[in-house]
Structure 1
Amino acid sequence: MPFLLLYLKLRVKRFQDRPAKKDAKIKVLAVHSPRYVPDQECLSEHPDMEIWVLPHDVQALINSIFIRDQAKLLEGLDAIETSRVFREGEIPQIKEGRERLQKYLERFLPKAMRLLKVDGMMSCSFFYLLDLDWQIACTKTHIPFFALHKENMQDPVVHEHMIKRYSDMHLKFEGQRLFLYNGLVKKVLMGAHICDEEITRIVGACRMDALINKVQNNQCASPKRQVTLFSSHHAIGLLSLKDHKGYFSNDRNDGFVNYFDQVHGNMVLFAKQNPDVTVYIKPKWGGRWLEEIKSAAKRIANIDLDNEDIPNLHIVWDTPAQQLIEESAVIVGINSTTLLESLIVGRRVVVPLFEEAADKYYDRHVYFKKYQDVVFNVVRAPNELSQTLLDELNEKIPARDLPKEIIEDYLGYFDDQAANRVVEQMKMDVQNLNAKKAK
């Protein structure tokens, strides 16, 4: 144990190497830090909050000492089976390893907290297998384990599916406090019996605080003559693909395949035909996603992006979404919180609803139905997309009002106080647990 404590001390660093805060009231050790950087940035701006980062490989190393050959033992199982088998101890080697790991963590974590001078741990979700035994050990030793659950997009159309999926996975949160963006997420988690309602807290989205503050203080820059498409894939709205690689189907009859091609092909064509408009397409990453965009351009617009230069077209995945939102006059997409962020900033939002999105998968996989005709410009045919974008750019279509209800439904609050709600709750939880330790 002394060696691991020393190793931990050497590897743990302050989030983004930010300066120490002498007056910080709450210090947490974050796991899975790269997965929720914007939330941590917002929390780090709070004067009472200091975040330290436990590298993923260190946490995985500690687990692997006790649970050996986990990947091999779980080989061949899908995500649901993997979660159930791991959590329920159906494989003796994993069950025994988890028991040894928990006993070790019950001795290790209190010493680690004192060594690092932190109050508790923080993750960005409640369901990571890597965290499970850390949650249990923290609870047994009165160390708070906080989860800022970042999976916030739980539209009513997927509630039944998600409740069943979470139940089949035997998911439980074993930590101290589960922070949620909104009531829609809470409804799913309570339906799946993830934890007691009393340990949940709806706080809104920390990463939205800065944006909302800029809007409230009229500090957003005027948009350029620019359109951004937040790219989707073939598995929109939690659609399960049969034959696929990642989020892309190998069967043109399975998934949002024609929809993807028409949206992306027509966006590339729009860029070529309107050189005075800057066009961004933002997938979440490159690789297969980029190749699918190129294929769509070839198939729909007969444009070979490998050999034809369109100077005003940019396909990027590393440019921050909020930067593109602020710079663009028109945003295009489907089922994404970026559409809501765009509405908050006052941008015009176009939602293509044709091909599979209009019929085959509309009922069970397309979000925002309650509000879609109120706040979005819905395009119902591929050949109407280009003119709609021009009409929105030239403000020939009246701007739409933003109902407060849609923000509250999906983002929890329409203010810049999410981080403050999180920090104040954490401070209260730490205080209560310290009181229990003192008894």
Structure 2
Amino acid sequence: MNKISNKIIRIYEKFFISIGSTSIFIAQSKRFIIEVKPSNGECDVDAPRLLALSPFRFRGDLEALADSKKFQVFKVSDKWQKKMAALFYPKGFKLGFNYYDSNPDTQIKKIQDSTRKFFLKFLKDLYAKFDIDCVIGACVWYPQDYEWGYVSRMINTPYVVLHRENLITGDGHYEQRVLQLKRYGIFSGNHIIVHNERSKKAFVESGYVTSEKIDALGCVRMDEFIKSINAQVSIGASVNMQNSKKVTFFSFQRGVGLRGVTEVWPQNHEEGYTDLFAKTHVAFAQLALDNPDIEFVIKAKWGGGWLLEIE
């Protein structure tokens, strides 16, 4: 029954798109856009209003921005974003890196043109309803954010990316990031904020963005942590390290960052970092057994299958 009702709704939605009407989608927005309230009082009603795309990717930044009371923060459901984008995809279409090409193929160009034609009106109406002053994203390559950011700038609503993928380690990793960004053409938003100078350098070197449109300003959600540390230092507070020993191991996927390996968890266990993955996790577990007075934590990026791989 759900499949039938969803199909009927999709037909109606496509009909509204064909006649250029945004009314059904603006009505839906009440369910998919909510405010991120400050944890310590109310925000000034005259503060600029931000709309965050793919909000679960911000990892605490939205709450930090809301708690600053310098912004009114709203977030839109990424599922709704994906659903809106999919309304313009032909049957069987798979979104890939080629979507970002400066000279896309005929099929992608058609999708982009039809999406942008409708989004020009849809986003104008949506932002007017919620009085949005600026749109923010968490990463430059999230496909569900791409057209929202692109069209936002077209209608003079700034699109700023607080880019979260900034841990660039060795030289090989740096070169890979530069090559990755080169595939995306030119940044279509207004500004990018990264955590560190190395990340900024990779962005500029790739040609994806000019140095005038990117800044390295640190990580928003770390501000309160730094303030608390500085406060302890200023009052001469001390931490009893004997009672707070902790070691954290950041887990990794067996196929992460490997060219020619198409999956981060290859089904073929002869591919990727199979031995390295097993030996490092076992060694860490053994350290935990040998040192019961120390807390050992394995930090996985996701749950589910990742945890099963570790177990």
> Fold match, TM over 0.5?
yes
Letter in 2 for 1:278: E
From 164, 175, 193, the counterpart of 2:179: 164
Cα deviation for residue 156 of structure 1 reads 5.0
Mapping for residues 195-344 of structure 1, pairs under 5 Å:
195-218=209-232, 222-223=240-241, 224=243, 226-235=245-254, 239-240=257-258, 242=260, 245-247=263-265, 250-252=268-270, 254-294=271-311
The answer to whether the 8 Å contact 2:52/2:136 transfers is yes
The answer to whether the 8 Å contact 1:249/1:257 transfers is no
The answer to whether the 8 Å contact 1:244/1:251 transfers is no
Larger mean CA deviation between 26-35 and 220-229 belongs to 220-229
Rounded to whole Å, the distance in 2 between the matches of 1:156 and 1:270 is 27
Cα deviation for residue 120 of structure 1 reads 1.7
Residue-pair matches, total: 283
The answer to whether the 8 Å contact 1:233/1:247 transfers is no
Letter in 1 for 2:181: Y
Give the secondary structure class of the aligned counterpart of 2:132.
coil
Rounded to whole Å, the distance in 1 between the matches of 2:181 and 2:144 is 17
Rounded to whole Å, the distance in 2 between the matches of 1:37 and 1:28 is 16
Cα deviation for residue 142 of structure 1 reads 0.8
CA distance 1:46–1:92, change in 2 (3 Å): same
The answer to whether the 8 Å contact 1:180/1:201 transfers is yes
Rounded to whole Å, the distance in 2 between the matches of 1:44 and 1:17 is 5
Give the secondary structure class of the aligned counterpart of 2:51.
strand
Mapping for residues 410-421 of structure 1, pairs under 5 Å:
none
- Corresponding residue of 2:76: 54
Cα deviation for residue 94 of structure 1 reads 3.1
From 1, 5, 9, the counterpart of 2:30: 9
- 1:39-84 Cα shifts (integer Å, max 9, x gaps): 1121111121111011112222222222333xx2238xxxxxx212
CA distance 1:89–1:97, change in 2 (3 Å): farther
The answer to whether the 8 Å contact 1:15/1:51 transfers is yes
Mapping for residues 142-157 of structure 1, pairs under 5 Å:
142-155=156-169, 157=171
- Corresponding residue of 1:433: none
Give the secondary structure class of the aligned counterpart of 2:247.
strand
Letter in 1 for 2:70: D
Cα deviation for residue 235 of structure 1 reads 5.0
Cα deviation for residue 29 of structure 1 reads 0.7
Give the secondary structure class of the aligned counterpart of 1:260.
helix
Structure 1 segments of 4 or more deviating over 6 A? none
The answer to whether the 8 Å contact 1:234/1:249 transfers is no
Letter in 1 for 2:139: S
Mapping for residues 358-437 of structure 1, pairs under 5 Å:
none
- Corresponding residue of 2:208: 194
CA distance 1:246–1:198, change in 2 (3 Å): same
Cα deviation for residue 278 of structure 1 reads 3.4
The answer to whether the 8 Å contact 1:30/1:51 transfers is yes
- 1:293-345 Cα shifts (integer Å, max 9, x gaps): 33xxxxxxxxxxxxxxxxxxxxxxxxxxxxxxxxxxxxxxxxxxxxxxxxxxx
CA distance 1:141–1:54, change in 2 (3 Å): same
- Corresponding residue of 1:37: 59
Give the secondary structure class of the aligned counterpart of 2:161.
strand
The answer to whether the 8 Å contact 2:89/2:111 transfers is yes
- Corresponding residue of 2:153: 139
The answer to whether the 8 Å contact 1:156/1:184 transfers is no
The answer to whether the 8 Å contact 1:239/1:255 transfers is no
Rounded to whole Å, the distance in 1 between the matches of 2:275 and 2:293 is 28
The answer to whether the 8 Å contact 1:243/1:250 transfers is no
Q: Percent identity?
A: 20
Larger mean CA deviation between 94-103 and 268-277 belongs to 268-277
CA distance 1:243–1:196, change in 2 (3 Å): closer
List gaps (5 residues or longer) in structure 2: 1-21
- Corresponding residue of 2:3: none
Structure 1 length normalisation: TM-score? 0.58
With CA pairs under 8 Å and 6+ residues apart, which has the higher RCO, 1 or 2? Answer: 1
Q: Superposition RMSD on alpha carbons, in Å?
A: 2.8
The answer to whether the 8 Å contact 1:24/1:48 transfers is no
Letter in 1 for 2:216: I
Cα deviation for residue 90 of structure 1 reads 4.2
List gaps (5 residues or longer) in structure 1: 76-81, 295-439
Structure 2 length normalisation: TM-score? 0.80
